[in-house]
Structures are given as C-alpha cells and as structure tokens.
Structure 1
Amino acid sequence: MVKLPVLRLPTFVRQHIWSWLVLATVAGLYMLAGISVAIDKSGPQVRGVAASAAVPAFRPGEAAAPPAPEPLAFKEVTPEDAVAWNASIPLSDTPNPAARPFVLAAASEADRLRAVECLTAAVYYEAAIEGADGQRAVAQVVLNRVRHPAYPSTVCGVVFEGAERRTGCQFTFTCDGALARTPHADLWAQAKRIAEEALAGKVYAPVGWSTHYHTNWVVPYWAANLVKAANVGTHIFYRWEGGWGRPPAFTGRHAGAEPAPAKMRGLTAAPAEQALAEAEAKDAAAATAAAQAQAALPQQPGAAAGAVDIAQRPIVRRYEPLRRETATAIITERAAGGADRLTASQRWMLTGEGTATTEPPLGRRAEHNEAAAQAGGR
C-alpha cells in the first residue's frame, strides 16, 4: 500500500488559522455581493426598454444642455409588487426647498384662460380623487416644469408635451383616451380653483422643485435615476439629480403666448369656451384697432415705424429730453431775433427783466447778492 505524504501547513498559518478563515469568508461575501449588483441593481426589469441616461452636470452660468424628458415606460410588475418596491425606496435626506411663487404673465386674456384650462385639466385628470393637497402637488410640478430648461415654457406646452405620440406623452391623460370622458362639473370646478391659485402665486411647498411623479402602483424606468422627494396621497414625487434639480436651474420665464392644444377643444364647459372665444375676439379687435390707429398717424421724427407702448397702444409723440447746451442755444438764437421772441420766463432767465421777483436771474446769484449787500450798507 502506498502511503501519501503528510500535508504540513507552515507554522505561521497554523498559528493564525482562524484569522485566515475569517478573511477568506469576508472576501467571498464581497465577491458574492459584487456579482449580485452586476446582475440587477435597479429592481424588476422589462426586456426591450432602456433605462434613462445619466443626467448631465449643471453649473450655474454655463449653457449646458438640460436633460431630455424621458418617455413614458413602466416596468412590468403587479400593482402589489409596485407598492412594495416603491415603499422600500426611502425619501432623500437632502434639502428640499419650496419653489418660488409662480405668477402668470400671459400676453393676453385669451392666453391666461388657456393656461388656466390646461392646468385645470392636468389637476383634474391626474388627481381628481387625491384631495386638495394631491391636486396642488400636481399643479406645482407643472409650474416647476414651465421654469425648467428641459421643458416647454408655457403651461399648455408642458401639459400636452408629446400628446401626439402614444408613448411619448409626459402626462398620461393626454394620450390614454381620458380626454374623451366628460369632466364631472363639481370636481372640475375644484380643480380650476386650485389651478387659478397656483397661477396667482400659491406654492405647495412639500414637493419642492419636483418635476416628476407617479402613482405608487406603477414603477417607471426613470424613477431609479431621480431623487425621491415626497409622498403625497398615492403619488410619489421626484426631482432631477444634482444641479438640474436645485433652485438655480429653474430660471425659465413664461413665454407669454399659450398654444391652443387641439385636444382641449370641446373639453371645457360652455361658459369657459364662450369666455375664451370672447377674449380671443377682444384681443384681435384691439390689435386691429391699434394697427389702424398707427397707420393713420403721421410718422414722428425719430420714432420707429409701428412703435407701440407697453400696453400695445400706438405711440402718438415721442419727446426727447433737451441737453442744457441745446436749450441755451435755442434761447440765445431767439434773443438774437428780438426780445419779443422770448417768453417772459426766458427773458427773465437772460436779463432779470420783466418780473417783480427778488430772485436773481439764472447764473447771476452772486452778483445779485453783492448788489443787495451794497444797497443795504447805504
């Protein structure tokens, strides 16, 4: 029988064998964790749909390209699994400052009414059953997007972005057929009241500068790449990572003129449609009258053709202020043509004549004071 050689471990290994076993176990666990993360680090997956791209860096003062809005795509999970998955993601512990008040600066009454109706539609179809806070939160997200460079700079533009595409819409109700349902009158009135308050400067602070939200029974692909900022009712709110989600990025201004989405036609109640039609007719009539008035006026020297003031009224005259040297030259020229060409005030300014006042003429106060002192000493 062949005897196998006895395997003898080095002395330093035998002395510290338990320490070596512990180190080997820790190393194995680290390797296992790395493999697990590589296989799946974002939860449930769906084949054929890519996750959102990384958000570019934002530096105040630089003209960097903003992140592009993501398409509407969800992971294929059951509502129950989605609720559990969403609940497992904690809220961010980074600062969540309230947004600045947004006060609508529409170009006309028709544009103001369009903005109100579009925001009302978003509040109604996205959060009609969420209660007042949930509706205010949705309105705040819309207005946050109006100010962000990644989105349109009008209310209707934000609400109906991508509505012409089946999966490109940013708000589900604009492309899933919900607009075919007639709104409930009382709930629509409540949504409109909240929309008008938001457009008048009322801020819903809990969602901060959030630009995204979804219900807790779905899991959008973009959720893993954004910062979870707040829970309001059944909605979860997010903002961009890094500088694009902080206040300095929200510098956009309302464009003034609101688009008229085709899908809003016939949606609102008859009184609102009539008010919008009347406002559009009034704006058109005012523009026509201003153009006609401007055309009938003689062109003023130095005034640009078609010049109007801040209220879009034609400028009748434009007065340019005279420099002191110019005014003196005009008065001197008139005096050379005879004293009768001077007004009483101009004559007094040059000679001191023609007035009973004891005030000296312009530029002769010292001389006047000296004469008065001599007269007093007599």
Structure 2
Amino acid sequence: MQQLVTISRPADGLKRTAAQLKLRARQLLRDYPRETIGAGVLSLTIAGAIGGAAISGSGNQPAPAAAPPVPPPLLVRQLAPDQALEVNREIPLVKGPNPAAAAFVFKGDSSARRQALDCLTSAVYYEAGSQDDDGERAVAQVVLNRVRHPAFPGSVCGVVYQGSTRPTGCQFTFTCDGSLLRQPDAEGWKRARGIAEAALSGSVYSPVGYATHYHADYVVPYWASTLAKNAIVGAHIFYRWAGAWGRPTAFVKAYSGHEASASALRSAALAAEATFASQVQPGSVAEAIEDIPGAEPLKPSMRGDKRVAIRFNLTARKASDEAVHEDYAKKFEASDNLKFALGGDTVAENQAPLGKSAPANPPAGGAANQR
C-alpha cells in the first residue's frame, strides 16, 4: 500500500501542472489570439521538420563522402600451407548480418556485353575452375561487387584486369602469373561461361554478401586481418571492407556501360608478364645468391611480378661485421678537397680553390699558382 501511495503522488503533481498549463493557454488565447495561433503553427512546423529529419536519418545511410580506400596488393606471408590453414582458421568470421548483394543490372550494348562476358568467364574459370558451381558463383559475385564499388574500375573487364600490366602486382593472380597461356578445356569453359552469363543477367550468390576480396585458404595475405572475413566457400575465404565502405550503401557506383577489348587486355597482360619474367634469369640469380654469405632464397611472392625474395641469417651479419673496411677516398688519387668532401677531414690552409694540390714549396712573397 505504501508503494501505491508513493507512485500516485508524482501523478497528482503532473495532473496539477497540466491543469495550470491548460488554464494559462486559455488565458493567452483569450488575451492574444493572433500571436498564440502563430506561435502554435510555428512550433508544429519545427516539430515536423525535426521529425522528418529523424525519419530520413533512420533509413539507409548515404555512401561515405571520404575518398574510397585503395585496394591492397596480394602480398602474402611466407608461411607453409599447413601454417596458413591454421592462421586462417584463427581469424573469426564477423558477427552480425551479411546481406546479399543487389542484383547486377547490365546497361550496355551487345558488344559491351560480349566483352564483359568474356572477361568474367575468364575470372570464373581461372580463379575457381577446380571448384564446384558455388565456388565459381562466389568469384563472379566478387567481380560484380567491385564494379559497383567506388574503389574499383566501373567495368567488368577493368576490374578483372586491374593491375595486370604493372610490376606492383595484379588484383586477380591469373592475369599476371602466366595462367592465361594455359588453354582452357571446353567443358570447364562452358560451365564458367554459364555462371558468368547468369551473374550478368542478375543472378546473385548471396553467401558472400558484399565481399570484394578473397584468397585461397592455403595462403595468408598481409591484409587478411584488416578486412572483415564474412564467408568461406570451398577453398576460398571472402572479405568485405571493414566499416562504412563494406556496407550496402557504399555500392552505389553505376556501371559504366563500356568495356575494353577482352582480347587486347589479355594480350597486354601476357606481354607484361613475359617482360617481367625476362628481366630475371633464374640461373644467374641462383648463382648470385650462393655468392652472398648468409643469403637464403624464399618462395615466390604469389604476386606474379617475379621478384626475388632473399632472407639473410646470422651468417650474413657475421660476414658484414668481419669485412675489412677500406676508406673510399684512399682507393684513388684524390685531391684534398675531394677527400674533405668524402671523409670530413680539415682542408689544408693552402689548398687551391678548384682542387689542385698546392706545390710543396710555394713561391716566396706570393700565393700558389692557380688555374
């Protein structure tokens, strides 16, 4: 009973306050009718504006206004496959919703569609041809997700061949590791083409959501821990951008409707791969590494740029510490000025201005001859 009395007292106060406000409102309306009505209309207008802003803000948020992130190159950690599998298992899947991507709407002529279909089929075949249909659908979905994200090119072929002619590495490894030289088998190509055609026609593979990155489960890219791991399909692990750039509202870029020649992009990628490969002679590199104390060659970087990776062990440090140092300036006939510039020694007081050494016995009563 005491509790009921305690609760009822604030209610009585509210009733009294409401009655007083009602009485004051009547007095204001009687004494100042025009001003009271105008203030009421203004209050309703402001309240409506605030309420509308709140309602619009509670829906889909606009795409981020800042510059989009730069796609990271596929630099992988030097781990054995079994170690990579363990590291990848330890990276947790993100919690929360993983919404399916919107259906891709192709807006281009028949010529652009042919090029887009060829490029997307190549990505599906070479990236996931050894997997089942779901593995291939997942790769096709990532390509089309990238087309609609402001961090990537606005065409299918542009996304597939991005970075394929740069030594810094491609986005899809098959475009810069020589895979394009491998003739596809007819049945596998037909299956990949059917999946690419369905994706361009609006088919969505929902398990990967808005993923824009993936890699094989037997490698660990350096960027793996910086993105949101949101799906595992077959032998591939999929990621989306963390934060606002991975949300559906970021995928607002319209498809360009224009496609470059798929055959020209393929030829350019193969030419670039051959050029980078010709810059390194495997035999000479191996011999050079053997001549370096403590140098150990590492596995290829998986980037396709054919760079040589070397690790130096403690033997290399010991050899460096024991190496006899010889002053560079003493290896040749150098002027005093050059020796001073190289070694920091104090220049002689009688040094000629242009570096010519002063004679041992300068003429009496005058400075040394100058040239």
Between the aligned partners of 2:168 and 2:179, the Cα distance in structure 1 is 14
* 1:109 positional shift: 1.2
Give, as a single letter, the amino acid of the residue that structure 1 aligns with 2:71.
P
Q: In the TM superposition, what whole-angstrom CA distance separates every residue of 1:85-114 from its partner, at most 9, and x where no partner exists? A: 1011121112100000002111x2111100
Please say if 1:91 is aligned against 2:93: yes
User: What are the within-5 Å matches in structure 2 for residues 33-112 of structure 1?
Assistant: 60=62, 63-106=65-108, 108-112=109-113
* 1:265 positional shift: 5.4
Residues 99, 208 of structure 1: 8 Å contact kept: yes
Q: In the TM superposition, what whole-angstrom CA distance separates every residue of 1:205-242 from its partner, at most 9, and x where no partner exists? A: 00000000000000001111000000000100000000
TM-score, normalised with respect to structure 1: 0.54
Tell me the residue number matched to 1:274. Answer: none
Between the aligned partners of 2:80 and 2:64, the Cα distance in structure 1 is 43
Please say if 1:118 is aligned against 2:110: no
Between the aligned partners of 2:63 and 2:248, the Cα distance in structure 1 is 13
Please say if 1:208 is aligned against 2:176: no
Residues 64, 244 of structure 2: 8 Å contact kept: no
What SS does the aligned partner of 1:236 have? Answer: strand
User: What are the within-5 Å matches in structure 2 for residues 111-190 of structure 1?
Assistant: 111-190=112-191
What SS does the aligned partner of 1:76 have? Answer: coil
Between the aligned partners of 2:220 and 2:63, the Cα distance in structure 1 is 35
Residues 64, 250 of structure 2: 8 Å contact kept: no
**How many equivalent residue pairs?**
209
TM-score, normalised with respect to structure 2: 0.54
Residues 73, 167 of structure 1: 8 Å contact kept: no
Tell me the residue number matched to 1:45. Answer: none
Give, as a single letter, the amino acid of the residue that structure 1 aligns with 2:245.
W
Give, as a single letter, the amino acid of the residue that structure 2 aligns with 1:169.
C
Give, as a single letter, the amino acid of the residue that structure 2 aligns with 1:191.
A
Residues 179, 263 of structure 1: 8 Å contact kept: no
Between the aligned partners of 2:267 and 2:75, the Cα distance in structure 1 is 28
Q: In the TM superposition, what whole-angstrom CA distance separates every residue of 1:189-208 from its partner, at most 9, and x where no partner exists? A: 00000000000000000000
Residues 153, 254 of structure 1: 8 Å contact kept: yes
Between the aligned partners of 2:201 and 2:242, the Cα distance in structure 1 is 29
Q: In the TM superposition, what whole-angstrom CA distance separates every residue of 1:4-50 from its partner, at most 9, and x where no partner exists? A: xxxxxxxxxxxxxxxxxxxxxxxxxxxxxxxxxxxxxxxxxxxxxxx
Tell me the residue number matched to 1:375. Answer: none
Between the aligned partners of 2:230 and 2:64, the Cα distance in structure 1 is 26
* 1:61 positional shift: 5.3
Between the aligned partners of 1:228 and 1:266, the Cα distance in structure 2 is 33
Q: In the TM superposition, what whole-angstrom CA distance separates every residue of 1:278-334 from its partner, at most 9, and x where no partner exists? A: xxxxxxxxxxxxxxxxxxxxxxxxxxxxxxxxxxxxxxxxxxxxxxxxxxxxxxxxx
Between the aligned partners of 2:182 and 2:233, the Cα distance in structure 1 is 25
Between the aligned partners of 1:135 and 1:61, the Cα distance in structure 2 is 29
Between the aligned partners of 1:85 and 1:225, the Cα distance in structure 2 is 14
Which of 264, 267, 271 is equivalent to 2:266?
264
Give, as a single letter, the amino acid of the residue that structure 1 aligns with 2:87.
W
Change (3 A) 1:230 1:100: same
Q: In the TM superposition, what whole-angstrom CA distance separates every residue of 1:26-81 from its partner, at most 9, and x where no partner exists? A: xxxxxxxxxxxxxxxxxxxxxxxxxxxxxxxxx72553100001112111000110
Tell me the residue number matched to 1:247. Answer: 248
Unpaired runs of 5+ residues, structure 2, are 1-60, 270-371
* 1:138 positional shift: 0.2
Please say if 1:222 is aligned against 2:220: no
User: What are the within-5 Å matches in structure 2 for residues 14-33 of structure 1?
Assistant: none
Give, as a single letter, the amino acid of the residue that structure 2 aligns with 1:219.
V
Between the aligned partners of 1:175 and 1:62, the Cα distance in structure 2 is 32
Residues 165, 175 of structure 1: 8 Å contact kept: no
* 1:258 positional shift: 0.4
Please say if 1:196 is aligned against 2:214: no
Unpaired runs of 5+ residues, structure 1, are 1-58, 268-378
Please say if 1:236 is aligned against 2:237: yes
Residues 142, 158 of structure 1: 8 Å contact kept: yes
* 1:264 positional shift: 3.1
Change (3 A) 1:238 1:266: closer
